[in-house]
Amino acid sequence: MLILEILCAATAVISIYIYGNQSWYAPLFGFFSQIFWVAWAILDNHYAMLFLSGAMILTHIRNSKQMKTIQRLKQKLYLKKL
């Protein structure tokens, strides 16, 4: 469990740093981070933390719209095809 807790903390810190730089991919990393948080909450019986994870997932969804993450991701993928 300690490794999972370290992953949660590390991905949260990285996510905050990326959001602070206003990078368009910050919501994507935030979604990735939630994988570890949800796993930790379930495996270590911290079920109340699932509410926080749910709120963070909704925040990342909102931020992905406001930061135009999906549009920029499509542009990046389209440019790689050329």
Q: What is this structure's pTM?
A: 0.85
Where in the chain are the domains? 2-81
Instruction: Write out pLDDT tens, residues 52-71.
Output: 999 999 999 999 999 999 99
Residues 6+ apart with CB under 8 A from 80: none
Instruction: Write out pLDDT tens, residues 17-46.
Output: 999 999 999 999 999 999 999 999 999 999
How many CB atoms are closer than 10 A to CB 28? 20
Predicted confidence band at 82 (pLDDT cuts at 50, 70, 90)? low
Burial letters for 32-70: b for 16+ Cβ neighbours within 10 Å, e otherwise? ebbebbbebbeeeeeeebeeebeebbeebeebbeebebe
